[in-house]
Every structure is written in C-alpha cells, then in structure tokens.
Amino acid sequence: MSTTGLPKHHSATPREKLVIGASSLGTVFEWYDFYLYGALTAQISTHFFSGVNETTGYIFALAAFAAGFAVRPFGALVFGRIGDVVGRKNTFLVTMAIMGVATFAVGLLPGHQQIGVAAPILLLAMRLLQGLALGGEYGGAATYVAEHAPNHKRGLYTSWIQTTATLGLFLSLIVILATRTLMTPEDFAAWGWRIPFLLSILLLAVSLWIRLQLSESPVFQRMQQQGATSKAPLAESFGRWSNLKLVVIALLGGVAGQAVVWYTGQFYALIFLERLVKLDGLTANALVALALIIGAPFFVLFGWLSDKIGRKPIIIAGCLIAAFTYFPLFNQLTEAANPALAQAQRNAPVVVIADPGACSFQFDPVGRNKFDAQSCDVARAFLARAGVSYDNVAAPAGAIAEIRVGQSMVRAPDTARLEGPARAEAIAIFQTQAREALDAVGYPAAADPAAVNRPLVVAILALLVIYVTMVYGPIAALLVELFPTRIRYTSMSLPYHIGNGWFGGFLPTAAFAIVAATGNIYNGLWYPVVVALMTALIGLMFLPETFKRDIDK
C-alpha cells in the first residue's frame, strides 16, 4: 500500500507499521555489530594489544573502538550523498552488508601472538569499515521512517529508531552473557569471545531479507517524479552558509551533548564498573542489560512527548540534568557496586608524593614504555593497574616517589639507578608492599559479589539510561525537520555522526586517559559534563524548534 495519497495527520497504516518495524529491527542488528567491540574491549585488549603494557593496551583497545566512530562522518558524507541522489532504501542495504561482513571477520582474526602487529592493523581495518557503514545507516533509517510519518507523529515514529542503539547494545550484552554462561571463564577469554562476532552473519541474513521487503520513501519518490532531487547534495549542504549554519548549530547545540550523555550512560558506566570499580564482567553486563530493559520504553515516551511540547526543551533539559548529577551518581555507583572500595577511599585516601617533573602521562602512543624508568611512574602505574583512585602531592625536585595509604608510607624504588634483574626485583618488592598496605586498610582487589547492592546499582544505571532517552528520543525528528528533503540525508547525517562519532565515540578513550593521567577515577566525568553544558547553552540560544514543520519540501 502506498502512503503518498494519505493525509499527513492519520493513524498508522499497516504499511507504515512495517516500515517502522523493519527499519528498526535492521538497525538493531547494525548497532549489535558495532557495539560488540565495546562490550568486549577487555578481551580484545588482551588478544590484539598484548605487545604493550596493560594500561596502554587498554587505551589502545579503546582507541581502536573510537576509530570506528572517527570515520562515521566520512561514511555520512559518502552514503548521505548516495541516499540523496539514488534513494534511501538501496543505500542502507549496502551499509548493512558492509557492517555484517566486517563484524563477522573480527571473529576470525588471529591475535597478536599469532601474527604480531598485523593483528591490531587488521582489527582496525574492520573497525573502520564498521564506522563507514554506520555513518550511512542511521541517517537513512531515520529519514526513511520520518518521511513515512504523519506530521503530528514524527517524534513518536522516529523514536522507535532511537531505541535501536540501546536495543542493539542490549542484544550484544545478552549474547555475551549467554556465551559466558555456557563455558568456563578461561574458555571465554581464550576463544569464546569470538562467538558473538561470528553470530552476526545470521543477523545480517535476517536483516537483509527484512529490508528487501520495503519500498522507497514516498517523499523521495515524489521528489524523483518531479525532477527535484539534488545533483550535488554535498555542495548544497555545506557550500551554502544558510544550510551550513544549521549543520553547525545542530552539532554544537544538540547532537554533541546528546552524544556524551548517551555514551556516558550506556558505555562509560559499563567501563567504570568493570575497570575502575572492579566489578566482575558477568555481573556488570547483567546489571547494565537489566537497566537497558527498564529505560528503553522512555525513548518512545520522550519521542511522543516531543510531538506535544517540542524537541528542544526535552533535549536541553536532559543535557542539564545529566551535567549536574553525574558526579554524585557515579560516586553512589561506587558505593553500591563496591562498598569496600568506597569505604577505603573515604577512610584511607591514597596519595602519590612525587616530583611532578619525574611523572609521565600514563599512556604511550608507540607502546614501548613500561613506565618503570622513574619512581613516580612505578608508583602510578601500579595504582592504575590496581584501579585505585589517588591524589597527587608535589615533592621537591629529585625526590623519590612515595605512596601514602592512610597513615602508611610505601617508598617506590629508585629505578633510575637500577637496571635489569635488580630493577625488576625492586619493582616486585614495591608492588608487594603496596598491595599489602592497600589490603591492610581495606582496598579490595575486586568487588565482593555478595556485597553488591544490585537493586541500587540497577536503579542508578536505569536513571542514566533515562537521561539518554531524554536527549536521544527526539533527536532524529529534530534533525530530519531541520533540513530540506533534497539534501536531508546528507545534511542531517554529518552533524549526527560528528557528534556521536567524535564527541561521543571518543568519550571512553578520553575519559579513561584523563583518569590514568590524574589518578582520580571520577575525573573522566569532566569530559561529558563540559560538553553537555556547552550544548545546553548553545542550544538555548541558537537551536530552532522544529516539531510543527512540514518536511515534504
């Protein structure tokens, strides 16, 4: 049934319901593929980046994760142009095929121990293909659904597309949990982590079959019939200030804040629990998955509400609420997930007393530094691996670093004067003494599963997800409504993927690097807080309200 003759205010037809369902389900599978990597960062770090020290390897793994986001704007430009010239449907069929094949290939790649440096290079190549594909997918799906929707229900219709990122993450976590449950931890770490990637080939087949049942967008068909399609959508989108200005406003006054709230609530929270609070991966994944179930319906609620009161107030409110509550919420998350760690941090804070000039930033871009040349580096590298938050106090120039754990002092070895086995032995002795000092005042090596306040953890995580639904539920409708039909796919895709690919996608890497550099496990939150506040301010001043616009022009 064609929808081109229907009035723009009507009840959903069976054809429109198929469009929403098919577009959403296909996009769920694409997000599943894309987010598997993030959920399995720890295993990927071990297998593909084992040639560097542990902290650097983990940041490298996060950086490869972020690389997929870095190329998303380029995918938006390439596939956005094709979508505006050729059509919406065929474009996102191509992007889906690229995504599925690249994800399946990750499950087959040999690791660093088998092929050396070629392993991370091949992994990065697959990740870049994923990013390019996703750069073309989202804009096509959102535009396709919005162009089928009645004027007064675009927020509601497109909110189903907005659920797909969360549902894709949820699906990836469920598959990972099932795989973990069916095998020993050793088998999962050795080879079982590959299974979720290999299963993606089945999802690809289902997704392509579903998408093939759809017809082209009626708005695009009408534009083709009238000969009104753009011959140069890139030039029209970004070569004319009237449209480029909207792209910049959409990015800085809407999408950037939405992106950091999304990745803080659904990705960084998981990394924070596993890496910094030391909750075991199985429990962390299960609690995040439960929170996603609780929060997911709010995407539709806020999409529906944006049809009533507008897109802008909901998005701006979500950014502001998140920015002002992240620090207390993540502190409370530590209390709930690892109360022994929270109590130790209060009662016996850890301080590194060292010459600032002898302290390196705990990240080595070439992977050669073991951080053992100076006493300060030895002390801070140990605490980073242990997941212990600490403060820094400056010591006189040339002083040997010390760690103060409550009232105890542990002196780091003067490794600048030691070499070979003597240096290794001195470091080992220091690490044993430091661990004993931490144990003595209650710093746990890992969270006690019996002490985890699961209801409170889920409640906090669900609240973080609800923040996500506030900023993300209405954003697709807003972006579609901002731009004219002939260049819509291209124009909306670029700010969306710069915002989510760069501002959001680099959040885990940037936040973890900030934590490694400063020693405080909460300092990584400054990144999303600052960006969310920036978006709220720019959005309040410059972002137009769009919810009553006619998008057929």
Rank 85-94, 151-160, 246-255 by mean pLDDT and report only the highest: 246-255
390-394 and 402-405 as β-strands: parallel, antiparallel, unpaired? unpaired
The winner for highest mean pLDDT among 356-360, 498-502, 541-545 is: 541-545
Q: Which range, 28-32, 325-329, 395-399, 404-408, has the best average confidence (pLDDT)?
A: 325-329
Is the pLDDT at 2 greater than 60? The verdict is no
The SS3 call for residue 232 is coil
Say what the pLDDT of residue 469 is. Answer: 95
* Between 277 and 75, the higher pLDDT residue: 277
Whether 336 has a pLDDT exceeding 90, the answer reads yes
Average pLDDT over residues 405-410: 90
Q: What is the pLDDT of residues 307-316, one digit of tens each?
A: 999 999 999 9
pLDDT at 305: 96
Domains of the chain: 14-338+449-542 (1.20.1250.20), 343-440 (3.40.30)
Q: Which of the pair, 340 or 87, is modelled with greater confidence?
A: 340
Quickly count: other Cβ atoms within 10 Å of residue 190's Cβ: 14
pTM given for the model: 0.80
Q: What per-residue confidence (pLDDT) applies to 154?
A: 87
Which of 117-151 are b and which e, b meaning 16 or more Cβ less than 10 Å from the residue's Cβ?
eebbebbbebbbbbbbbbbbbbbbbbbbbbbbbbb
Work out the percent of the chain whose per-residue pLDDT is above 90: 32
Tell which wins on pLDDT, 281 or 470: 470
Backbone angles phi, psi at 347, to 5 degrees: -85, -30
The set of residues, in sequence order, having a beta carbon less than 8 Å from that of 151 and lying 6+ positions away, is 8, 9, 548, 550, 551
**pLDDT per position as a tens digit, 347-391:** 999 999 998 887 876 554 434 445 567 888 888 888 877 878 899
Per-residue pLDDT, 10: 47
Q: What is the pLDDT of residue 230?
A: 54
| pLDDT band, very low/low/confident/very high, at 318 (cuts 50, 70, 90) | very high
Tokens for 143? 């535009």
For 197-249, what is each residue's pLDDT tens digit? 898 888 888 877 877 776 655 555 665 555 545 555 667 667 778 788 988 99
Higher per-residue confidence, 68 vs 192: 192
Tokens describing residue 266: 């659904």
User: What are the pLDDT digits (tens) for 21-59?
Assistant: 766 766 777 677 667 777 787 788 888 877 666 666 766
pLDDT value of residue 251 = 94
Residue 314 or 123, more confident: 314
Mean pLDDT, residues 459-482:
94
Strands of the sheet containing 390-394, edge to edge, are 390-394, 350-354, 402-405, 408-411
Cα angle 523, 528, 530; round to 5: 90
Rounded to whole angstroms, what are the CA distances from 276 to 331, 338, 468? 12, 10, 22
pLDDT of residue 553: 58
The pLDDT of residue 372: 63
Q: What mean pLDDT value characterizes the chain?
A: 83
